[in-house]
Amino acid sequence: MIDFKENVNSNQKTTEETRQQMSFLGQAKELVKERSERRGYPLTFHVTTFGCQMNARDSEKLTGMLLAAGYVEKETEDADFVIYNTCTVRENANNKVYGRLGYLHGYKKQNPQMKIALCGCMMQEDVVVSKIKQSYPFVDLIFGTHNIYKFPELLVSVLESESQIVDIWKEHGDIVEDLPSVRKYPFKSGVNIMYGCNNFCTYCIVPYVRGRERSRQPRDILRECERLVKDGVVEIMLLGQNVNSYGKTLQQEISFADLLKEVATIPDLQRIRFMTSHPKDLSDELIEVMASYKNICPHLHLPLQSGSDTMLAAMNRHYTKAHYLSLVDRLRAAIPDITLTTDIIVGFPGETEDDFAETMDVVERVRYDSAFTFIYSKRTGTPASAMDGQVAKNIVKGRFNQLLERVQTIGAEQSERFVGSKQKVLIEHLNEQDPSLVTGRMMNNSIVHLAGTEKMIGQVIPVNIKESKGFYYLGEPL
């Protein structure tokens, strides 16, 4: 489903840029058509995504542009144009990409016309680009996070060139609206509300690779949401690295709570989610809005990172354990059946047994429905990478296992509270193991398997929650 949006956005400069890129897309289409005819089959593409929801949304944009250029999507990587949209938040994300480039080289040897492109956060790092130039010369195109909207232009260049093209911008430009995009799912979609991050948590590479925080205009966001709903979307996820500071960089300041209210009043929009919330910017106003609108999902992902005030200060998080716990109390008082999920890092430089005990204490008190747990990964260029007191690997591993065991046990215990309840479930796909079942999500983001058929995909149906299996449920359509 290609979404060619009408060109009526709020910024004259970006309209001009959009026009230019659409013209490059026309040129790319000619080239792809001519080559497909010459080869006797339609040229194919594949986009592989690593990392977060923001990258997933960027991949939908790249997919939309490749479809508009006349390529046909292929499920496997033995395609004529392959893009890796990379992540660099932890070191193992980088290693995965290097590992898989070897496979791609194998495909390219069989199909020398194949084009390989790398983009995303990892490409914003100088060391990565140098390494690729030196050790992976078969890569045809490297671009970064700031110039993704220039992809049609880059596509034409790469189709007309035999040498490696590298185009990385250090700074972001304007936000360019209205380029083609697709949705992976016809019934749900992410919507970017802001890009970049200004928080500089000391362990995190995101502000360096995604640039400074900038918000989209509210009218552009609302227009996109309204159009999605008209097109049959029932669930929208508003996306940003720190949605709670939405609007602070706009001339006419508007809060995230205000934006959320506007989105929630779009007629026929059944579900709204958002990611990610920084605890330092979570306002009472936002809690009130979440509690007041039935179509705002009762789920909050609220990254804790650490329960120790010393670690939180060293991480530059700008909140304390007490403040975090008070937010949780306020959220539960306003929205009693809310599910809470989090991110926790173990082994930040200088973390002592006492610091770790504080993290475990928050886990015991909050009783998260689920938690993503990470071993601290040293990212070159971040302040934490130069900090003293890097914790020994075996100690970190021991703490990590202890934490994982507790979050899993608590998550399973917490999930019992919805057994026996009736829930609205949005059916997302056929069950991967058992095709007589379908899989969907409750409003609170929990996964449910139930008997069903493909026809139900995209529908919201009432379900009796029969049994909890720890991190998913078995249900029965009502």
- Specify the stretch interacting with ligand SF4 by CB under 6 A; choose among 34-42, 204-212, 283-291, 368-376: 204-212
* 243 touches ligand SF4 (CB under 6 A): no
Spatial separation of the C-alpha atoms in residues 299 and 328, rounded to whole Å: 12
Angle 223-226-227 (CA atoms, 0-180°, nearest 5)?
85
Instruction: State the DSSP H helix or E strand holding residue 58, giving kind and residue range, or none if neither.
Output: helix 53-68
Q: Which of 13, 133, 135, 200 lies at the binding interface for ligand SF4 (CB under 6 A)?
A: 200
> Got the DSSP string for 353-403?
HHHHHHHHHHHHHH--SEEEEEE----TTSGGGG-S-PPPHHHHHHHHHHH
Spatial separation of the C-alpha atoms in residues 247 and 220, rounded to whole Å: 13
> Got the DSSP string for 188-254?
EEEEE-EE------TT--HHHHH-S-EEPPHHHHHHHHHHHHHTT--EEEEE-TTGGGTTTTSSS--
241 binds, among ligand 5AD, ligand SF4, none (CB under 5 to 8 A by kind): ligand SF4
Given its phi and psi angles, is residue 211 left (phi above 0), alpha (psi -120 to 50 degrees) or beta?
Answer: left
In terms of Cβ atoms closer than 10 Å to its own Cβ (0-12, 13-18, 19+), residue 408 is middle
Q: How far is CA 144 from the centre of its chain?
A: 16
Residue type, 203: Y
**CA neighbor of 450 nearest in space, from 114, 440, 381:** 440
Nearer to ligand 5AD, 6 or 388 (CB): 388
Nearer to ligand SF4, 52 or 437 (CB): 52
Nearer to ligand SF4, 150 or 278 (CB): 278
3-state secondary structure of 131: helix
Residue type, 301: H
* 103 touches ligand SF4 (CB under 6 A): no
In terms of Cβ atoms closer than 10 Å to its own Cβ (0-12, 13-18, 19+), residue 258 is middle
Nearer to ligand 5AD, 127 or 333 (CB): 127
Q: Which of 104, 154, 197, 269 lies at the binding interface for ligand SF4 (CB under 6 A)?
A: 197
CB of 300 to ligand 5AD, least distance (A): 14
CB of 287 to ligand 5AD, least distance (A): 21
Which residues sit at the interface with ligand 5AD, rule CB under 6 A?
Answer: 89-90, 203-204, 303, 305, 343, 345, 374, 376-377, 379
Q: Which of 49, 189, 199, 306 lies at the binding interface for ligand SF4 (CB under 6 A)?
A: 199
* 241 touches ligand SF4 (CB under 6 A): yes
88 binds, among ligand 5AD, ligand SF4, none (CB under 5 to 8 A by kind): none
Spatial separation of the C-alpha atoms in residues 300 and 69, rounded to whole Å: 38
Nearer to ligand SF4, 381 or 470 (CB): 381
- Specify the stretch interacting with ligand SF4 by CB under 6 A; choose among 192-200, 252-260, 375-383, 443-451: 192-200
What's the number of CA atoms in the CB half-sphere (13 Å) around residue 355?
22
CB of 328 to ligand SF4, least distance (A): 18
* 201 touches ligand SF4 (CB under 6 A): yes
Nearer to ligand SF4, 241 or 341 (CB): 241
Nearer to ligand SF4, 194 or 463 (CB): 194
49 binds, among ligand SF4, ligand 5AD, none (CB under 5 to 8 A by kind): none
Nearer to ligand 5AD, 44 or 86 (CB): 86
Closest CB to ligand 5AD: residue number:
343
Instruction: State the DSSP H helix or E strand holding residue 155, giving kind and residue range, or none if neither.
Output: helix 151-160
- Specify the stretch interacting with ligand SF4 by CB under 6 A; choose among 152-160, 200-208, 390-398, 440-448: 200-208
Q: Judged by CB under 6 A, how many residues of this single chain contact ligand SF4?
A: 10
197 binds, among ligand 5AD, ligand SF4, none (CB under 5 to 8 A by kind): ligand SF4
CB of 155 to ligand 5AD, least distance (A): 30
**DSSP assignment, residue 457?**
T
341 binds, among ligand SF4, ligand 5AD, none (CB under 5 to 8 A by kind): none
Within residues 269-328, the interface with ligand SF4 by CB under 6 A covers 278
Nearer to ligand SF4, 90 or 399 (CB): 90
Report residue 453 as tokens. Answer: 């058929």
What is the contact surface with ligand SF4 in residues (CB under 6 A)?
197, 199-201, 204, 206-207, 241-242, 278
